[in-house]
Amino acid sequence: MYLLGIESSCDESSASIVKDGKEILSNVIFSQVQDHERFQGVVPEIASRLHLEKINGIIDEAFSQANLNFTDIDAVAVVYKPGLIGSLLVGLATAKSFAYCYDIPIIPVNHIEAHLYAPHIEHEIPFPNIGLVVSGGHTLIMLSKSHTNHEIIGSTVDDAVGECFDKVAKHYELGYPGGPVIDRLSKAGDDDAYRFPRAKFKKGNAFNFSYSGLKTAVIHQTEKFKVKNDSNSMEDLLASFQKSAMETLLEVCKEALNQYELKDIVISGGVACNSYLRETFTKEKDLNAFFPSPMLSTDNGAMVAGLGYHLYREGIVADLSLNAHSKIIKQGRPV
């Protein structure tokens, strides 16, 4: 079964063709990062206009790379939530037109659920498992029972971890998005130069995260958290920040794995590209961490088409009245 997957929830326009949920025939991604860079963040109006400009060409390219015709597609999967509403609407309208023209089903895909699916394209991962989605907009921890059954067990109470990287980078004028720059610069730094705070919640909320305190500390209170007085480099500051941010993720995930007596953890979303995060989780003896390759970690259509296959098999199909939603929980299944 061939599915076309369309993703346009934020600042990446992507179209992909995937066979039977696993075999990627094409995965074309157009990133708008350069267009938002000078604003140090995504400008929603610019994002939706660029999606509109690019989406048809991206779809054509996905078909050309897969060497297929429009009539070969069995269903079109599209992200309808959560995300920037104007951006989502472009992908959704495109998917509806395609489905209408070729008389094929539309599969409604939740962006978060698609991120969780991404590592399954490349690995065999047993269920149940713990899922961690870390991106510019989300920091969510989930108990996953199947590709389509996830329960949110914790989330950030303020900033998302990727947002925290972006804001720290913005403050120090390091460029946008902040994650990749901080990851790169941190390699030359001493991550013990500062001991930044690690937010911890009490029992009952033990799987929640908070990143605004860390952000404030790294931006406004660096002297207070300095451990090595002779350390003045930006690299040391960033490496120490990155360590604190990532160790918090590890601690909470270990607690969740422990409580649910599980060993397998799926980590996805843009921040899953972080090299320190990958190393830290991979080194841990008592858990098996599964990451998608970097191209499947950030927003892409392959994770949408891949998950769409499983949703379709479970009879989860939409009609032309499908609408976009900016939030995770608004309509339909929570995740």
Rounded to the nearest whole angstrom, what is the least distance from the CB of residue 301 to ligand KG4 in the complex? 13
Going by the DSSP 8-state scheme, the letter that residue 314 receives in this structure is T
Is 48 or 240 the residue whose CB approaches Zn ion more closely?
48
Q: For 134, phi and psi rounded to 5 degrees? A: -125, 115
Strands 149-155, 139-146: pairing is antiparallel
Spatial neighbors of 104 by CB under 8 A, at least 6 apart, are: 73, 74, 75, 76, 98
Rounded to the nearest whole angstrom, what is the least distance from the CB of residue 108 to ligand KG4 in the complex? 18
Sequence letter at residue 17: I
Considering only residues 13 through 42, tell me which ones interact with ligand KG4, judged by CB under 6 A.
none
Distances in Å between the Cα of 22 and the Cα atoms of 26, 62, 117, 123 are 12, 16, 10, 10
- Which does residue 249 touch among Zn ion, ligand KG4, none (CB within 5 to 8 A, set by kind)? none
Contact region with ligand KG4 (CB under 6 A), list: 175-183, 216-224, 230-238, 247-255? 175-183
Q: Of these, 270, 301, 306, 308, which contacts ligand KG4 (CB under 6 A)?
A: 270
Q: Does 179 bind ligand KG4 (CB under 6 A)?
A: yes
Q: Which two tokens stand for residue 260?
A: 């649910």
| Alpha carbon 88 to chain centroid, angstroms | 15
Interface with ligand KG4 (CB under 6 A), residue total 19
Cα angle 320, 324, 330 (rounded to 5 degrees) comes to: 115
Spatial neighbors of 163 by CB under 8 A, at least 6 apart, are: 136, 137, 211
Q: Of these, 21, 154, 180, 189, which contacts ligand KG4 (CB under 6 A)?
A: 180
Considering only residues 150 through 169, tell me which ones interact with ligand KG4, judged by CB under 6 A.
162, 165-166
Q: Of these, 3, 10, 78, 335, which contacts ligand KG4 (CB under 6 A)?
A: 10
Rounded to the nearest whole angstrom, what is the least distance from the CB of residue 112 to ligand KG4 in the complex? 9
Rounded to the nearest whole angstrom, what is the least distance from the CB of residue 10 to ligand KG4 in the complex? 5
Q: Of these, 7, 159, 183, 191, which contacts ligand KG4 (CB under 6 A)?
A: 183
Q: Which two tokens stand for residue 42?
A: 């995504």
Residues interacting with Zn ion, by CB under 5 A? Answer: 135, 299
First to last CA, the chain: 24
Q: Does 299 bind ligand KG4 (CB under 6 A)?
A: yes
Q: Which residues bind ligand KG4 (CB under 6 A)?
A: 10, 135-137, 162, 165-166, 177-180, 183, 269-271, 273-274, 298-299
